[in-house]
Amino acid sequence: MIYELSYEDFNKVKRIFQNEQYHPVINGVINGMNRGRIFVNNIENPTAVLVWAINEMFYLAGDSQDIIFQHSLEKYIIDIIIPAAIQLGEDYFNLELYPHNEWAPVLPSIFKKTNLQQGERVPFTFHKDQFHKLSLRKTAPSGYSLRKIDLSVIQKDLSNIIKNEILKFWDSLQSFLDNGIGYCVLNNNEVIGTCISVFVSENEYEIGINTYQTEHRGKGLATLMAASFIQDCIAIGGNPHWTTESFRRDSIAIAEKLGFEKLEHYPVYFFPF
């Protein structure tokens, strides 16, 4: 059987992720900072868990040998989770495994109807000393302006791009303003890029960055936003995190410009809705 935990019970799965204490996405959900839902094999004493970090990732963790949980999971995903995800605008089921070596062998017995495919995620570690040595652009190129995201900037964004981006991951704008970090770039008073903390757990900040229109890419705007974000993050004692897919070469290049060191790729699994 599969059960959904109420928010008040999210902390029951913390021990399952005890080796991931610096993971801003997983802990951002468990701690109630960011949007997410949690599904388990037992409400009182969960040992197997599926964490849904909304608009980001699913995390399958814990006891990989619970046969009832295994056999119930795909139907629950198809019947309950996918319709909810589609309603939120998601179009892919993206899955990470903890620990991978225990869950990977049982995936074929879980996903029998869905065409589960395998990709690669690229994690990074941040080197603050290296970042401080960099000579980075501090102002936007001609025709563009860099803004720190605050309530005034959000209210002036008549397209609601900033608001919509924040609310993909946060329950409210106020929660983001109280706990998050964000920058945007404007062109003719139009928001053409954002860089926000999509998930936060204590001092750990996951970076989410977008330049929305192709004509504005390749001009250093993403690097400018991310550098400003990182400076603010460091100033408050935070640790910036960057994770991307192996095919996103631009994202990898930007990260490496900013003091992030690429680590070993790891498998991720996915299927389209």
Calpha distance 235→225 (Å, rounded): 16
Cα–Cα distance, 116 to 120 (Å, whole number): 13
Q: What is the pLDDT of residue 137?
A: 80
34, 51 contact by CB (below 8 A): no
Q: Return the percentage of the chain with pLDDT > 70, whole number.
A: 100
Tens-digit pLDDT profile for residues 19-57:
999 999 999 999 999 999 999 999 999 999 999 999 999
pLDDT of residue 267: 98
Average pLDDT over residues 52-69: 98
pTM for this model (two decimals): 0.96
pLDDT of residue 138: 79
CATH of domain 3-114: 3.40.630
The domain defined by 126-266 folds into Aminopeptidase (3.40.630)
Distances from the Cα of 263 to the Cαs of 124, 145, 230, 239, 257, in angstroms? 5, 33, 19, 16, 15
Range(s) within the chain of domains with CATH label 3.40.630.30 = 126-266
pLDDT confidence of 209, banded at 50, 70, 90? very high
pLDDT tens string 160-201: 999 999 999 999 999 999 999 999 999 999 999 999 999 999
**Angle, vertex CA 51, rays to CA 46 and CA 52, nearest 5:** 150
Q: How far is CA 261 from the centre of its chain?
A: 18
